[in-house]
């Protein structure tokens, strides 16, 4: 079973999926007039509150929750894995994928807000499933093919949330704690269940409130720690940047052949890491963005696209430069990789590299991993709950939340490999219907973006009514 799942996972996340996502990023960048140039305006909007607009939570709360789900262990371990497999050049291509991914994040969130609905409690519901339901209706009926795509997205997203957001993050959190502190895994698992359950069972407002306070602190704290490390490694900073650029465009071996090299390999692993890190095109962030208080889809879409910037262009890039500069500063790390080239993992590289930094290195890694993992558990719980609502009605939310929290305990005690593969496959399959509906509606997004963003109507009220749907 494990070998079969591994083969399926390798296939669905192969070159075809990377080409689909990266191609969509580039296409939407040009279709939307290089919306990335509006990033400064989008960052300013992130802090703006508009309580008169329709929605359940603030736009910053929606952004924080999306970032909580996005900035996970992949922001540290995932970057290290990309460097081992693709060389330092992978950091550059990861950054490029992040920049182009900003446009896809904008487009998918715009679509989600355009077609969001209210439930019987006046709470907002949105995401690719509701876009498929409403965008292609004719004579008040949704075509069967659109309904199938909506259901498929919701099913795969609900499955992926349990693995990606619960089991895998709990496993990562437990692993980093037990490697530094002598505490049984089951004790950590119980603590994770209590801490996550106390927030998740409180609903979207509780989740967004915690994320609003946690995400800025953890992100700024981790970034500050990385900057301090770079200052300590200052003599290796320029050589590290040069190594990243050189390996992105040449096939010369990096670190004496200790890590992957070659332009194609660097491009493949860098783009893959960039695509995974910011979740652009995956369809996750649009679900929480639909709950935001916003006057029109463009406002929150601009705010949401900053998430791709912070997660990949900033956090992952800082991690990459820290790792490369530390490997240059401590050649023995390269020797360790050469000694076990097939067994050395991204987690090992992260631990060894950060531990080489006196006093602050290990605490930054441990606190960063714990905070990132915990926040991801909170963020993905909302995604899964909303998908359960779409599939089975409002009454399914509480059972799903209980299962979600309990699965984190299984992840903590080591039942995670199969769950990780299943959730990773779910991630790929949820991305496909999301990307298709986003591309299919890209013309509408481009037209309305021109009106709201480029023609100066960003503060206008949206003329579309938000319909109410009944959820059992």
Q: What is the pLDDT of residues 383-437, one digit of tens each?
A: 999 999 999 988 888 999 999 999 888 888 876 556 666 767 877 888 899 999 9
pLDDT of residue 170: 87
Cα-to-chain-centroid distance, residue 444:
25
Decide which of 383 and 349 is more confident.
Answer: 383
Determine the pLDDT at residue 341: 62
What is the per-residue pLDDT across 49-108, written as a single tens digit (0 to 9) for each? Answer: 766 667 777 888 888 888 877 777 777 777 887 888 778 888 898 888 889 999 999 999
Q: What is the pLDDT of residue 365?
A: 80
Instruction: State the pLDDT at residue 84.
Output: 80
pLDDT digits (tens, 9 = 90+) for 8-41: 877 877 788 888 888 999 999 999 999 999 999 9
Instruction: Report how far residue 13's alpha carbon sits from residue 8's, in angstroms, rounded to the nearest whole number.
Output: 9
> Would you state the structure tokens that stand for residue 306, as one six-digit string?
């900053």
Residue 343 has pLDDT above 80, yes or no: no
* pLDDT tier for residue 344 given thresholds of 50, 70 and 90: low
Task: Tell me the average pLDDT across 112-130.
Answer: 89
For residue range 255-307, list pLDDT tens digits in order: 555 565 667 777 777 777 777 778 888 898 899 888 888 888 999 999 999 98
Q: Which of 450 and 46 is assigned the larger pLDDT?
A: 450
User: Is pLDDT of 472 > 60?
Assistant: no
Please indicate, yes or no, whether the overall pTM of this predicted structure exceeds 0.85: yes
The predicted structure's pLDDT at residue 419: 64
Kindly report which listed range (66-75, 122-131, 369-378) carries the lowest average pLDDT score.
66-75
Supply the mean pLDDT for the chain: 84
Kindly report, residue by residue over 197-244, the tens digit of the pLDDT. Answer: 988 888 777 888 888 888 888 888 888 888 888 888 899 999 999 988
Q: What is the pLDDT of residue 375?
A: 85
pLDDT at 132 over 60: yes
What domains are there in the chain, each with its CATH number?
2-454 (1.10.4160)
CB atoms within 10 A of CB 54: 16
pLDDT class for 338, splitting at 50, 70, 90? confident
Please name the residues in contact with 18: beta carbons below 8 A apart, sequence gap of 6 or more.
Answer: 268, 271, 272, 275
pLDDT at 191: 92
**Cα 141 from Cα 137, distance rounded (Å):** 5
Mean pLDDT of the region 157-184: 83
Question: Which of 119-128, 202-211, 322-331, 412-421 comes out lowest in average pLDDT?
Answer: 412-421
User: Are 65 and 58 in contact, with CB atoms under 8 Å apart?
Assistant: no
Distance, in Å, from the CA atom of 52 to the CA atom of 285, rounded to the nearest integer, reads: 23
Q: What is the mean pLDDT of residues 338-343?
A: 65
Round to whole Å and give the CA distance between 85 and 258: 10
Q: Are 373 and 69 in contact (CB under 8 A)?
A: no
């Amino acid at each position: 079973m494990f070998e079969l799942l591994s083969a399926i996972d390798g296939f669905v996340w192969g070159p075809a999926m990377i080409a689909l996502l990266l191609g969509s990023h580039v296409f939407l960048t040009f279709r939307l007039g290089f919306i990335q140039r509006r990033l400064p305006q989008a960052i300013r909007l992130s802090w703006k509150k508009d309580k008169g607009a329709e929605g359940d939570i603030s736009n910053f709360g929606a952004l924080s929750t999306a970032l909580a789900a996005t900035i996970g262990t992949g922001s540290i371990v995932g970057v290290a894995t990309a460097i081992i497999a693709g060389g330092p050049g992978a950091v550059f291509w990861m950054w490029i994928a992040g920049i182009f991914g900003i446009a896809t994040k904008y487009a998918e969130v715009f679509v989600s807000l355009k077609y969001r609905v209210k439930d019987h409690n006046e709470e907002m519901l949105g995401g690719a499933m509701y876009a498929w339901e409403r965008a292609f209706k004719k004579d008040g009926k949704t075509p069967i093919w659109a309904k199938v795509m909506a259901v498929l997205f919701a099913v795969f997203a609900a499955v992926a949330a349990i693995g990606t957001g619960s089991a895998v993050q709990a496993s990562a959190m437990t692993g980093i704690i037990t490697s530094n502190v002598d505490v049984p895994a089951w004790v950590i698992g119980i603590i994770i269940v209590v801490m996550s359950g106390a927030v998740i069972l409180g609903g979207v407002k509780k989740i967004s409130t915690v994320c609003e306070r946690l995400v800025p602190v953890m992100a700024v704290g981790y970034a500050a720690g990385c900057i301090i490390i770079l200052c300590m490694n200052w003599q290796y900073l320029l050589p590290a940047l040069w190594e990243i650029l050189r390996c992105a465009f040449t096939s010369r071996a990096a670190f004496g052949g200790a890590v992957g090299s070659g332009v194609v390999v660097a491009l493949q692993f860098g783009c893959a890491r960039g695509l995974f890190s910011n979740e652009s095109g995956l369809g996750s962030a649009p679900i929480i963005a639909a709950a935001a208080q916003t006057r029109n889809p463009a406002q929150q879409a601009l705010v949401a696209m900053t998430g791709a910037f912070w997660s990949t262009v900033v956090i992952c890039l800082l991690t990459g430069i820290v790792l490369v500069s530390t490997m240059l500063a401590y050649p023995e790390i390269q020797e360790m990789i050469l000694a076990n080239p097939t067994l050395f993992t991204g987690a090992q590289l992260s631990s060894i590299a950060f531990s080489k930094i006196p006093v602050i290195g290990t605490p930054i890694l441990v606190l960063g991993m714990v905070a990132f993992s915990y926040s991801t558990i909170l963020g993905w719980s909302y995604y899964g709950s909303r998908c359960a609502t779409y599939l089975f009605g409002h009454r399914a939310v509480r059972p799903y939340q209980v299962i979600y929290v309990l699965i984190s305990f299984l992840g903590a005690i080591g039942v995670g490999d199969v769950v990780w593969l299943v959730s990773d496959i779910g991630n790929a399959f949820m991305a496909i219907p999301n990307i298709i509906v986003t591309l299919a509606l890209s013309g509408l997004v481009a037209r309305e973006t021109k009106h709201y963003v480029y023609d100066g109507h960003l503060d206008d009220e949206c003329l579309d009514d938000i319909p109410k749907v009944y959820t059992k």
